[in-house]
Amino acid sequence: MKRLAVYCGSASPADPRYVALAREVGGDLAARGIGVVYGGGRLGLMGAVAAGALEAGGEVIGVIPRALAEAEVANPDCTQLTIVETMHERKQAFADLSDGFLTLPGGVGTMDELWEAVSWAQLGYHAKPVGLLNAFGFYDQLLAFQRHMIEVGFIRRAHGGIILAEHALDVLLARMAAHVPHQPIIQMSAKDL
């Protein structure tokens, strides 16, 4: 994996562990020679990931919609900062520029990015690993809900393993590097759907 799209919050929660984690992840990715592709912001966990990677000499590619760039939240320190017009273009750039997706704690935007990466993998629009860093148990309830969707039948068992979730970054990155793509919907017969 040469580059990972890193999804995380633009907020800075009161608990300082989250910002510290993001900075550490950025630095760790850079130390491994993995470039960061992210939302291009300078605030919250997004800014911390970028700062950690840049401080460690890593590549940081920011992709930000024009409206957010004009609101002065763009990070001018990025190795490369691309301004796009829409969120759809932003997410397409994440997919085009990265070899996988790494999700840290975040809010609504982070969930949108994560579930789109999962949906696109399920459909067959990409075959890249989708990692979820469940630091501090932040995503325990989301993973429980995913299991519920599988049990009820809204997620096919064949696609239940798309999200690779781990508490430790080292273990998660190893699983992502060893990722074997599943059979996507576009390759399934009607009887399997």
**Contact assessment for residue 117 and residue 101, using Cβ atoms and an 8 Å cutoff:** yes
Q: What is the mean pLDDT of residues 182-192?
A: 77
At residue 188, the pLDDT reads 74
Residue in this structure with the two tokens 């690993």, named with its chain if needed: 129
DSSP state letters, 36-51: EEE--B-SHHHHHHHH
At residue 56, the pLDDT reads 98
Distance, in Å, from the CA atom of 162 to the CA atom of 55, rounded to the nearest integer, reads 32
Q: Kindly state the tokens that stand for 147.
A: 């299991």
Q: What is the span of the domain harbouring residue 71?
A: 3-192
At residue 37, the pLDDT reads 98
Q: Residue 168 sits in a domain of what CATH number?
A: 3.40.50.450
Distance, in Å, from the CA atom of 11 to the CA atom of 80, rounded to the nearest integer, reads 22
Q: What is the mean pLDDT of residues 38-54?
A: 97
Count of domains forming the chain: 1
pLDDT above 70: residue 2: yes
At residue 32, the pLDDT reads 98
**Contact assessment for residue 52 and residue 30, using Cβ atoms and an 8 Å cutoff:** yes
Is the torsion defined by CA of 32, 15, 40, 163 positive or negative?
positive
Across the chain, mean pLDDT equals 95
* Structure confidence by residue, pLDDT tens digits, 56-89: 999 999 999 999 999 889 999 999 999 999 999 9
Please, where are the H alpha helices in 4-73?
Answer: 17-31, 44-55, 66-70
Local confidence band at 149 (pLDDT 50, 70, 90 cut-offs): very high
Local confidence band at 193 (pLDDT 50, 70, 90 cut-offs): low
